[in-house]
Amino acid sequence: MRRKSVSYARFGYIFCIPFVIAFLIFQLYPIIFTTVLAFTDYKGLNVTEWHFLDNPFANFEYVFKNPSFSTSLKNTVIIWTINFIPQILLALLLTAWFTSRRNKIKGQGAFKILFYMPNIITAATIAILFNSLFAYPVSPVNDLLTTLGLSKEPINFPTKMWISKGIVAFIQFWMWYGYTMIILIAGVLGINPELFEAAEIDGANGRQVFFRITLPNIRTIMLFTLVTSMVGGLNMFDIPKLYLNGGPSSSTLTTSLFIYNQAFSGSYRYNTASAASLIMFIIIGILSAFTFFIMRDKDAAKLRKLEKKVKKDLKKAEQAAKGAA
């Protein structure tokens, strides 16, 4: 009987084969290929030959010296930050309201559905929609401003650098705060209700409960939101590309857009695009590792270590017992 159960193990391997093959072909190979290209002279349309460069880091030097790259990196960080801080604050506020045990908000379901809605709509469509909403001279926003008398004449939004950055950040904020809110609410609902009951008995007010119990208990989920938002933010492409194509004067140029422009939009500089991709890859890796490190739950890590040790000891004991038998 025991022998038979062992023989099933091979199906574990067999059933993973499609996943592994697809991963190797469509993810691992492109990563390796991108890495290799970053050290070559591969550029130009319909070129199939490439050679390794004498100075292996020439492409990286090119990228770092390229003012567009540093601008795009700066823009990406700025746009992500001015989208994420209000996003997480609003999401936390709404989470506090929607999970409050004292005064329940009615119609929560409908609010959640509407707040989350922009997230599933095609980003490309939203970018062009906002391009139309803020167009000059004829656009709904300008119509609203002049009709309400807030502005005497239409404002030329597409030429304003900081306003454009702000609009791109706003679109990101608007598309994602509902998602963040739902995830945080799920986190709060997962907290042991006894904690809240105990706090209430101890006479804690709403604010105290939120800061002393709710927040510390959703730390891991906030970390998850932070990391996914950061990775997504560093890859922001659809919206800056289609809102104003990185303009005006590169004020909404992001790193993904920089890579796209290098490789796929007329210049065919596959080698420097690969180098820029690798730089982004490393930045993303370092940032995620760093956030995991500073926000890691120290007690949980200790517990896990202990658990591992106990398991090891158990195994040893088992083996010893077997040996003895």
Q: Could you give the CA distance from residue 191 to residue 307 in angstroms, rounded to a whole number?
A: 23
SS3 278: helix
Query: Cβ of residue 251: shortest distance to other proteins, in angstroms?
Result: 17
- Which pair of tokens denotes residue 321? 């017992």
Question: In terms of CB distance, is 56 or 232 closer to other proteins?
Answer: 232
* Residue closer to other proteins (CB basis): 272 or 324: 272
Residue 111: CB minimum distance to other proteins, A: 5
Identity of the amino acid at 55: N
In degrees and rounded to multiples of 5, residue 40 shows phi and psi of -120, 180
Which tokens go with 28? 């691992």
Measured from the CB atom, the residue of 155 and 234 that comes closer to other proteins is 234
- Shorter beta-carbon distance to other proteins: residue 319 or 324: 319
**Least Å from the CB of residue 113 to other proteins:** 5
How far, in Å, CA of 94 to CA of 211, rounded?
A: 14
d(CA 175, CA 169): 10
Q: What phi and psi values does residue 250 have, to the nearest 5 degrees?
A: 60, 20
CB of 183 to other proteins, least distance (A): 3
CB of 210 to other proteins, least distance (A): 14
Alpha-helical regions (H) of 43-66: 58-65
Q: How far is the CB of 20 from other proteins (least distance, A)?
A: 8
**In 3-state terms, what secondary structure has residue 222?**
helix
Helix, strand, or coil (residue 251) = coil
If the CB atoms of residues 47 and 317 are measured against other proteins, the closer one turns out to be 47
The rounded distance, in Å, linking the Cα atoms of 91 and 84 is: 10
Which is nearer to other proteins, 14 or 201 (by Cβ)? 14
Between residues 48 and 55, which has the closer beta carbon with respect to other proteins?
48
Give the Cα separation of 232 and 220 in Å (integer).
18
CB atoms within 10 A of CB 107: 8
The sign of the CA dihedral 274, 275, 279, 282 is positive
In whole angstroms, the minimum distance from the beta carbon of 162 to other proteins comes to: 21
